[in-house]
A and B are shown apart, each in its own frame.
Chain A
Amino acid sequence: MDPEYRFSHKHLLGLADFSVTDIQAVLQTAESFKEISSRSIKKVPTLRGKTIINFFFEPSTRTRLSFEVAAKRMSADTFNISNSGSSTVKGETLIDTAKNLAAMNPDCIILRHPCSGAARLLAGHINASVLNAGDGTHEHPSQGLLDLMTVREAKGRIAGLKIAIIGDIAHSRVAHSNIIGFSKMGASVVVSGPATLIPPGVEELGAKVSKTVLKAVEGADVIMALRIQQERQQDPLFPSLREYANFFGVTQKVVAVASPEAIIMHPGPINRGVELDPKLADGSRSVILEQVANGVAVRMALLYLIMGGD
C-alpha cells in the first residue's frame, strides 16, 4: 500500500464511497485485529473513552451484537437503542432523535434503519461519525467488507475470482454492497434468482445477470446464497418456497458445477432448505461461521479507522 495513504473517511455510508485502497486498508487492519479475539484477555485499550451508540430501528441479532463485541474489545463505551425503546415510537423524527443523541457528544453512531439513505441523512445532521449498519435496500457495507475479508482469507486473493450471488438481489442490501465491493476489487460477479428479484440496471453496479442458477455458479469460486425474506410474500414475486428451493436454492447439484474448491457463504439468518441445503451450510465448504468471526474483526477495524485511530 502507498506509504502516503491515509484513511480519511469520517463516515461509512456505503462501499460505493470507498476506493480500492480504502477497502484494502480496512481489510489489512481487520486481519491484524483478528488475533485479539483469540486472546484469553480479548481487549485492547485503543478506543478507551470513545462513546459509541448502537441505534437500531430494525430487529438485528448478529449485526448489533457484532458491533457491540467489536466496540467492547476496543474498550469503547457502547450504548444500545432499539426502535421499540426509543422516542421515535412517541413520534420523534429521525433527525430530532439524532440531534438529541448528538447533544450527548458520542463519537460514533451505528445506524440500522428500514429506509434507504437514512445513514446519509443522519450524517448530514450530526457531528459524530455515522456507520451504516444497513439502510433499507441500499447498502450494508460492513457486511460487504467482512465478506471480502472472508473470501481473501479462504482464497488468498479477490481479483480474478468468480463470485455467484443467488437469490433476492432486489431487496438485499448485502447483495448491493457485495456487488460493489467484489467488482471494485477485481472479481467478476454474477447474480441469479427469480427475474422478479433481479433489480433493473444491476449491471451498472458491476454484476452480470444469469438466467439460471447453474449457469451463474458454473466454475464459481464463491457461492453466496441470500436470505429469502418471507415477509415479502404478499407481492407476487415467486409461487412458493418449495418451488423457490427447487429452482433457485443452492443445493449439492448446484455446487457440483462450481470450482472444486468453491466456498459457500450466507449472510444469515438462513432459511434452511429454502435458499441453502442444510448439509451445505454445515459442510466443509461452508465459511458461514468464519463470516461471523470476521465480522467482529472488520467492525473493530472500521471503528478504529473511522474514529481517527489515535
Chain B
Amino acid sequence: MPGLILLKNGRVIDPANGIDQLLDLLIAGGRISAVAQPGSLAEQSGCLVYDLAGKWVVPGLIDMHVHLREPGQEDKETIATGTRAAAAGGFTAVAAMPNTNPVNDNQTVTLFILAKAAEAGFARVYPVGAISRGSKGEHLAEFGELRQAGAVAVTDDGLPVGNSQLMRRALEYAGNHDLLVISHAEELSLSHSGTMNHGALATRLGLGGIPSVAEEIMVYRDLALAEFTRRPIHIAHVSTKESLSLIRRAKEKGVAVTAETAPHYFTLTETAVDGYNTLAKMNPPLRTEADVAAVREALRDGTLDAIATDHAPHSELDKEREFALAANGIIGLETAVPLTLRLVRENQLEARRMVELLSVNPARILGVEGGALSVGAAADVTVIDPEKKFIFSEESIQSKSRNSPFLGWELQGKAVLTIMAGKITWQETL
C-alpha cells in the first residue's frame, strides 16, 4: 500500500489525547491509522520505516502568524519558499497575514493564496483576511466572502485598527461568519515616532522610543470591546509585562481572549538593537528583561495560548541601511523550535506545554484541523530531534530572506521529519 509510513520508538507527545510515552505510529493513505506499543505494529511491505529512538513525535506544528509576502512582494518571499521554510521548521500549517499587495481583503486574493499553497504542497496555508478594505481602517472588508473562499480569521496586522467603532463592528460582524478577529495592538499616536523600545538605550542611540503603553492601551481597548460584544478576540505578538497582566485579568473575568507571543520576545531584549542592529528591529520592539521574564511566565501559566513566529521576510536592501529607515520584522519559521526548546531545556517549559503552544492551541484558536495525533485524523506529524545541534547559518535557510538576529547562533533541537497529510515535506539525516 503506498503512503505507508511507520514511525517507531519515538516519544509521542500528544497532549490533546493525554499521551506522552514511547509509541509507534502508523500512517496510511494520508491519515493516522494506528498508534500502538513499540514493536506491536507489523511492518508491511513498501512501508517507510523510521526508527525514532530519542526523537519526539508530535502533532504537526501550526504557526498562526506568518507573512508569506505573495502576492506583491515576491522578492522577499513566495508562498512556495515560505511554506518550504515552514516545513523545514517543523510546521505543517501556517496562517498567512493579509498585508500583501493587493491586501487580502477579498475572495480573489484568498483563492489565489490557497491555489499557490496547494501547488507548492509544503504546508497547509490558512489565509487571514483583512478587517478593513485595503487595511485602511475605514470600511469593513467582505467577511462573508472571505470566509467562503477559505479565510479563517481577520486582522489588519501590520497596522492597528485605530477606529474603535470599526473594531467593535468587526467583532460583531465576524460572529455571523465564524471568523476570529486578531488584534495588532498598537496606539499609533504613541508609537509612530519610535523605532525601538522606549528607554535609556533608545536615548543613548538617539532613536525614538516606542513605549510599552502604546501596546497596552490597545490591548485594553480590544479586551474591553471583546467583553462588550461578547465575541472572541486574539491578541497577536504580545511583548509587554502589563499587556500580559491585562490579558490574565480578562481571562479570569471570562472574556473570550486568546493570545500569542513570538520566540524573539522570550529570547531577546532591546540590547540586541545596540550598535544599530537592524536585524533586531521589529514591531512591537524587543523589550526589557522584566518583559521577557513575564512572557516566559505567561507561556507557563496559560495567559499566552500560542507561540507564533510573526515570520516577516525582508530583503537585504530593506535591512542593511539606516536604522530608522530599515524595515520591521524578522524571519522566524526555522528558529521557533530550537528557541522554544531552550526554555524546555532550562526547565522553564514542559515538553507537553511546548506542543500545546505550537500545535494544539493554534488549531483550536483558528478552528482548523490538526493539533492531535488521533487515529483517523489527517497525518500532520512533526518529528523533533531535541538534541541535534546546528549553527543557524545563511546557507541553511530555506526562506527567501535572511533577516534573522539569530544568524550565527548555535542552536539545539530541530525538526528532522515533517509530514503533512501523509506526505513528507521535510527530512534531515536522522
A residues in contact (CB < 8 Å) with B: 16, 93-95, 113, 115-118, 120-121, 135-139, 170, 173, 176, 199-205, 235
Residues on B with beta carbons closer than 8 Å to the beta carbon of A205 = 203-204
A137 CA to B205 CA, complexed, in Å: 8
Residues on A with beta carbons closer than 8 Å to the beta carbon of B200 = 200-204
The minimal Cβ–Cβ distance linking A134 to chain B, given in whole angstroms, is 10
Give the nearest-CB partner of B193 in chain A: A235
Give the nearest-CB partner of B322 in chain A: A115
Give the nearest-CB partner of B192 in chain A: A235
The 3 closest A-B pairs by CB, nearest first: A201-B200, A138-B206, A117-B276
Given A200-B209, A235-B193: A118 and B203 interface contact (C-beta under 8 Å): no
Please tell me if B237 contacts chain A, counting CB pairs below 8 Å: no
Given A116-B276, A121-B276: A137 and B206 interface contact (C-beta under 8 Å): yes
A93 near B321 with CB under 8 A, answer yes
B203 near A93 with CB under 8 A, answer no
The minimal Cβ–Cβ distance linking A197 to chain B, given in whole angstroms, is 12
A117 near B322 with CB under 8 A, answer yes
**What are 24 of the A-B contact pairs (CB < 8 Å)?**
A94-B321, A94-B322, A116-B207, A117-B206, A117-B324, A118-B322, A120-B276, A121-B276, A137-B206, A137-B207, A138-B206, A138-B207, A170-B203, A176-B203, A200-B198, A200-B202, A200-B209, A201-B199, A201-B201, A201-B202, A201-B204, A202-B203, A204-B203, A205-B204
A200 near B323 with CB under 8 A, answer no
Residues on B with beta carbons closer than 8 Å to the beta carbon of A113 = 322
A139 near B321 with CB under 8 A, answer no
Residues on A with beta carbons closer than 8 Å to the beta carbon of B206 = 116-117, 135-139, 173, 176
Docked complex: B256-296 residues within 8 A CB-CB of A = 275-276
A274 CA to B180 CA, complexed, in Å: 54
Docked complex: B288-334 residues within 8 A CB-CB of A = 317, 320-325
Given A116-B276, A120-B275, A121-B276: A200 and B203 interface contact (C-beta under 8 Å): yes
A37 CA to B321 CA, complexed, in Å: 39
Give the nearest-CB partner of A169 in chain B: B203
| Given pairs A136-B207, A139-B206, 16 additional interface contacts (CB within 8 A) | A94-B321, A115-B322, A116-B206, A117-B207, A117-B276, A117-B322, A120-B276, A135-B206, A136-B324, A137-B206, A138-B205, A176-B206, A200-B203, A201-B203, A202-B203, A235-B193
B205 is contacted by which of A116, A170, A200, A202 (Cβ under 8 Å)?
A116
Contact indicator per residue, chain B 331-349, by CB within 8 Å of chain A (1) or not (0): 0000000000000000000
A235 CA to B190 CA, complexed, in Å: 11
B317 near A93 with CB under 8 A, answer yes
B residues in contact (CB < 8 Å) with A: 193, 198-209, 275-276, 317, 320-325
Interface of A is mostly: mixed
Residues on B with beta carbons closer than 8 Å to the beta carbon of A94 = 321-322
The minimal Cβ–Cβ distance linking B210 to chain A, given in whole angstroms, is 12
A199 CA to B200 CA, complexed, in Å: 8
Residues on A with beta carbons closer than 8 Å to the beta carbon of B275 = 120
B203 near A117 with CB under 8 A, answer no
A202 CA to B321 CA, complexed, in Å: 26
A84 CA to B117 CA, complexed, in Å: 46
Residues on B with beta carbons closer than 8 Å to the beta carbon of A139 = 206
A128 CA to B206 CA, complexed, in Å: 24
The minimal Cβ–Cβ distance linking A212 to chain B, given in whole angstroms, is 22
The minimal Cβ–Cβ distance linking A181 to chain B, given in whole angstroms, is 14
Residues on A with beta carbons closer than 8 Å to the beta carbon of B199 = 200-201
Residues on A with beta carbons closer than 8 Å to the beta carbon of B276 = 116-117, 120-121
The minimal Cβ–Cβ distance linking A139 to chain B, given in whole angstroms, is 7
Residues on A with beta carbons closer than 8 Å to the beta carbon of B323 = 115-117, 121
Give the nearest-CB partner of A136 in chain B: B206
A121 near B207 with CB under 8 A, answer no
**Which of A135, A137, A139, A173 has its CB near the most chain B CB atoms (within 10 A)?**
A137
Give the nearest-CB partner of A117 in chain B: B276
A204 CA to B199 CA, complexed, in Å: 10
The minimal Cβ–Cβ distance linking A267 to chain B, given in whole angstroms, is 16
B321 near A121 with CB under 8 A, answer yes
Residues on A with beta carbons closer than 8 Å to the beta carbon of B324 = 115-117, 136
A116 CA to B321 CA, complexed, in Å: 11
A136 CA to B324 CA, complexed, in Å: 9
A203 CA to B206 CA, complexed, in Å: 14
B204 near A117 with CB under 8 A, answer no
Residues on B with beta carbons closer than 8 Å to the beta carbon of A202 = 200, 203
The minimal Cβ–Cβ distance linking B69 to chain A, given in whole angstroms, is 21
B322 is contacted by which of A121, A173, A199 (Cβ under 8 Å)?
A121
Give the nearest-CB partner of A176 in chain B: B206
The minimal Cβ–Cβ distance linking A34 to chain B, given in whole angstroms, is 30
Residues on B with beta carbons closer than 8 Å to the beta carbon of A135 = 206
